[in-house]
Structure 1
Amino acid sequence: MEYIEKVMSMIAKSGAARSQAMEAIMVAKQKNYAGAAELLDNASQDLKDAHKVQTQLIQEEAGGTKHEISLLMIHAQDHLMNAMTVKDLAKEIIELHEYTHQLQI
């Protein structure tokens, strides 16, 4: 996989993870906690895939392969970090939804 393909892969996987995390919140609001958990698991896998690509790029650079620091790469890094944050917050929000639902029963 070439450099630009790796960067685009990071963007795609991170974007998918963020979308799934946001969808998990919506699903939890409908009291479908199993569905929300599945979406968070899918988001986690996409984040692992994106992080793996990021790690490859870091290892390549550490090994002497220099890559251009482009706006696209900065965008990819931004997507990855935001997706990680959204997923972590989604997990907390879902737990709060589940907890408040249990209090209402």
Structure 2
Amino acid sequence: MDNLELVSFQIISAVGVAKSSYIEAMKIAEKGDFDLAKAKIKEGDQEFVKGHEAHAGLIQKEANGEKVVPNILLMHAEDQLMSAETIKMMALEIIKLNQRLYSLEK
């Protein structure tokens, strides 16, 4: 396995865990446990940063003149990175909406 494949798998793995945490946060918020939901967001953020740092390393290589030849695996990793970021934004909104619903129901 070459370095680009390894980095791609690191990105996919880290952001996959992040996405799972974000989705779990939404489900927890639906049940009204907003502190735990926010904790799950933080857990997801810690994993997301790992994936983002791995990706940033590739960008740094390219900036230093070392060619990074993209392949389908890297494209998939970047897609997963972007979707994790989108899911986080949605999770934050869903948590906020559930908080409003719970306050209105009281």
TM-score range, shorter chain: over 0.9
Taking the TM superposition and a 5 Å limit, the aligned residue runs for 1:1-105 are 2-105=3-106
Deviations along 1:33-79, one digit per CA (max 9) or x if unpaired, are: 11101100011111111111111100001111112211000000000
Q: Show structure 1 runs of 5+ residues with no match.
A: none
TM-score by length of 2: 0.94
Q: Aligned partners of 1:88, 1:9: CA distance in 2, in Å?
A: 22
**Alignment-mate amino acid for residue 5 of structure 2:** I
Choose 2-11 or 85-94, whichever is displaced more: 2-11
Q: Aligned partners of 1:71, 1:3: CA distance in 2, in Å?
A: 11
Q: Aligned partners of 2:43, 2:51: CA distance in 1, in Å?
A: 12
Q: Show structure 2 runs of 5+ residues with no match.
A: none
TM-score by length of 1: 0.95
- The alignment partner of 1:64 has SS state of coil
Number of equivalences: 105
Q: Aligned partners of 1:48, 1:88: CA distance in 2, in Å?
A: 15
4+ runs deviating over 6 angstroms: none
**Alignment-mate amino acid for residue 75 of structure 2:** I
